[in-house]
Amino acid sequence: MNQKNIIKNTEKFVKTKMKGDPGHDWSHVNRVRNVALYLGKKEKVDLFIVELASILHDVADHKFYGGDDKIGSNTAGRWLNKLKIDKKIIDHVCYIINEISFKGAGVKYKMKTMEGKVVQDADKLDAIGAIGIARTFSYGGHFNVPMYLPDKKPTYHTSFAQYKKNSESTINHFYEKLLLLRDRMHTKSAKQLATKRHKFMELYLKEFLKEWKFFQ
């Protein structure tokens, strides 16, 4: 099977497996794929690996499967084995899926390959800015997380196990993750894109807190 058909079949597979809230749907996957390909071309990396990993990166997100952080790579691996793809490619894609998630403010990224760094950057870019804000509140609504609890301070998570528990509030999630992502981008192009989105989030939070306190 050629690469074009592998991509098409994988798209169909992922569309049947997507589970979660509207912020973790096919449109998210497609945005990540498009941004990753943009970054990948600039970094001159293997675009087939980048596209395949992008499409499969949320095929089974641990957040919607009881915190099982291996279900994504296991699901992707089984699918790619069915397509009889070269083992090196399967291993690389599964490695990216295993390492892509943000695991807490106090946990460093371990992504080692440039293909993985490109996909990780693209995924994190979709978590910030205007769309990132919308996705964050969509996720909070899905899990019935309060929008804001003034008496609950953000937590600096030091382990993935600690981070996997939902934030006390959606606003806290900005401080526990989203506002940290700009400085964790790997590629120069991603850092440039992240700067504008980061500033927009800061403006949004300033206005949110101003309105929240208006009649307090």
- pLDDT tens, residue by residue, 13-65: 999 887 767 778 899 999 999 999 999 999 999 999 999 999 999 886 666 55
**Calpha distance 3→164 (Å, rounded):** 35
Q: What type of residue is 191?
A: K
Residue among 31, 124, 24 at smallest CA distance from 72: 24
Name the pLDDT band for 214 (thresholds 50, 70, 90).
Answer: confident
**Calpha distance 19→116 (Å, rounded):** 23
Scanning the chain, the segments in alpha helix (DSSP H) are 3-17, 26-43, 47-56, 71-82, 87-99, 114-125, 129-142, 160-163, 170-176, 188-213
Residue among 180, 181, 130, 172 at smallest CA distance from 154: 172
**Calpha distance 136→211 (Å, rounded):** 19
- pLDDT, residue 102, reads 87
Mean pLDDT estimate for the chain: 91
- pLDDT, residue 164, reads 73
**Calpha distance 44→99 (Å, rounded):** 21
Over pLDDT 70: what percentage of the chain? 94
**Calpha distance 45→2 (Å, rounded):** 19
Provide the whole-model pTM: 0.92
- pLDDT tens, residue by residue, 137-153: 999 998 899 999 999 99
Q: Which residues of 61-93 are buried (b: 16+ CB within 10 A; e: fewer)?
A: bbbbeeeebebbbebbbebbeeeebeeebbebb
User: What are the structural domains of the chain?
Assistant: 3-213 (1.10.3210.50)
